[in-house]
Amino acid sequence: MHTLSIKALAVGLRSKKFSARELAAHFLKRIEAHDGKLNSYVTVCADSALKEADAADARLARGEGEPLTGIPLAHKDIFCTQGVKTACGSRMLDKFVAPYDATIVARLKRAGMVMRGKANMDEFAMGSSNETSWYGPVKNPWDPTRVPGGSSGGSVAAVAAGLAPVATGTDTGGSIRQPAALTNLTGIKPTYGRVSRYGMIAFASSLDQAGVLGRSAEDCASVLEAMAGFDPMDSTSVDRPVDNYAAALDKPIEGLRIGLPKEYFAEGLAPGARDCVMNAVKKLQELGATVQEISLPNSPLSVPTYYVVAPAEASSNLARFDGVRYGHRAEGVKTLEELYKRSRGEGFGAEVQRRIMIGTYVLSHGYYDAYYLKAQKVRRLIYDDFKRAFQSVDLVLGPTATDVAFKLGAKTDDPVAMYLNDIYTIAANLAGIPAMSLPCGFVDGLPVGMQLMGNYFDESRLLNVAHRYQQATDWHTKLPKGFE
């Protein structure tokens, strides 16, 4: 059952080939058998999963089931889940039990999906390798000596290893797409404002966006459609109808105009990864697409711009974790200042502390204009690059990551090298456009992903192109050895 698509699982449930309880038990058994090698879950909700599965079976028996009723999923541990610990990969929230459901959790619950558990992640979503988690690093199912990418590393490891058919993730600078590329999955970050951020613990509020990770574009489309839409509880949510993503999947792509940014294929991209992406481009041309070179001249400035804007917003968002109302509280303190210092020093890991310090610095008097304001101006230039590009092409295509998954510990002592993992993904967040990664080959037995970026609210086109490509190839069907 763990190798079936969501569509096949839904057919099996409705034809009574298996029940939602049997499906839930199957994945719980796989988690018990395999997750000790991966560390993909922080919390496994065995009892509640079986109860939710029983409720799904009852709905299906009454003929009231929806397309996703009874389908298991894992939630990234950044989404509040009522009555279940929401730790965000941090000691700071290790004992925090959310009193309510995030909007996307509530919507997927209403659709009948069954939460299997909460997936491990980089602390407060700050990381590109899932090595900053308080609960330890997540291992890549394709090679447990390597990282799965981050910050949604637990989500991708769980899906890639068949411990969940689909998972939610968040993407602030590539945290859905980069780990998807490193684990042979399909992951989509929708347009900023397309999916509610209510109940998602904030890292950088103008960049964070929730999305989906699955084996295929078809799987991602069905879940994204259920979780997307306007939410009055989120002031950044856009009041715009949600497209029928599933209905658009099979449209032909003849005449599709694809732009290849010359900056994305320059020095820094590993030759093997480049070959895989270019072979994918040829396949899309065979399917009827046309290709042209374009330029995104300000894209090389994406990383420095991001690492001013994101830490600045993080320093503001994480100020609420001070040991007073909730979260980790240091013991034996005698003054308020000591409470703040010790609670934050003990509760936050090194990477989170680093970004808070950077963010506080760039927002401080005398440096705001020199750094933060200038970064926002460059951000606008990056947006303008995409605006011009979409006047001549329908979507932008490039690599998702510079190379395949690297070894655990290889970059932990070099923050700059770690930050450069997101060099191809950050621009989409700065501009707020939708983007996704999908499998396009292997180098030395490790997956390579290609990235598609579209115009605002053009998720349907991205999913359509990805689906047509996956109909013509089988990269996305490959499974890691030992988890078949």
DSSP state of 139: P
> Of 90, 133, 175, 343, which one is the catalytic site residue?
175
Cα–Cα distances in angstroms (integers) from residue 66 to residues 57, 157, 169, 228, in the given order: 12, 27, 22, 16
CB atoms within 10 A of CB 191: 22
Bridge partners of 79?
Answer: 200
Q: Is 76 a catalytic residue?
A: yes
> Of 19, 40, 76, 118, which one is the catalytic site residue?
76
Residue 121 near residue 88, CB atoms below 8 Å: yes
Residue 426 near residue 412, CB atoms below 8 Å: no
Measured CA to CA, the distance from residue 344 to residue 91 in angstroms comes to 10
Residue 390 near residue 257, CB atoms below 8 Å: no
- DSSP characters for 277-339? HHHHHHHHHHTT-EEEEE--TTGGGHHHHHHHHHHHHHHHHGGG-SSSSSS---SS--SHHHH
Strand order in the sheet with 166-170: 41-44, 114-119, 72-76, 166-170, 210-214, 186-189, 435-443, 446-454, 395-399, 257-261, 290-294
Measured CA to CA, the distance from residue 388 to residue 380 in angstroms comes to 12
DSSP H or E segment with residue 3:
none
Cβ burial of 4 (10 Å; 0-12, 13-18, 19+) is middle
Cα–Cα distances in angstroms (integers) from residue 433 to residues 385, 457, 459, 466, in the given order: 12, 8, 9, 17
How many residues appear in the chain?
A: 484
Residue 434 near residue 457, CB atoms below 8 Å: yes
The answer to whether the peptide bond before residue 133 is cis (omega within 30 degrees of 0) is no
Q: Is 151 a catalytic residue?
A: yes
User: How many Cα atoms within 13 Å fall on the side-chain side of residue 324?
Assistant: 10
User: How many Cα atoms within 13 Å fall on the side-chain side of residue 189?
Assistant: 32
Q: Tokens representing 465?
A: 């192109």
**Residues 377, 171, 204, CA angle at the centre, nearest 5°?**
50
Cα–Cα distances in angstroms (integers) from residue 303 to residues 250, 300, 314, 402, 461, in the given order: 36, 7, 16, 14, 27
Measured CA to CA, the distance from residue 55 to residue 58 in angstroms comes to 5
> Of 151, 155, 299, 460, which one is the catalytic site residue?
151
Active site residues: 76, 151, 175
